[in-house]
Amino acid sequence: MTKRDELLTVAQVLGELGGVSRRTFYRWREIGKAPEGIRLPNGELRIYRSDFNAWLESLRSAA
């Protein structure tokens, strides 16, 4: 049995990024520079932990 991939809220992602504003994060989404996310039926955005970690790793690789 595999562990379910955690769904993060935008607030959780911002907390892990430490100091990035909500506006900056959504701007990154607009220009395609943020991790992939899913939109729930209620309109809220969630990001899979695995996608977030892969996105962070891609930033390290680009540096």
Q: Which amino acid is it at 3?
A: K
- What per-residue string of b and e applies to 28-63 under the rule 16 or more CB within 10 Å gives b? eeeeeebbebeeeeeeebbbbbebbeebeeeeeeee
- Residue 18: exposure state from Cβ atoms within 10 A (0-12, 13-18, ≥19): exposed
Would you place residue 2 in the very low, low, confident or very high pLDDT band (cuts 50, 70, 90)? Answer: low
Please write the tens of the pLDDT for every residue from 14-61. 999 998 999 999 999 999 999 999 999 999 999 999 999 999 999 987
Q: What pLDDT was estimated at residue 42?
A: 97
What is the model's pTM? Answer: 0.85
pLDDT exceeds 70 at position 4: yes
Q: What pLDDT was estimated at residue 41?
A: 97
Report phi then psi at 50, rounded to 5: -65, -40
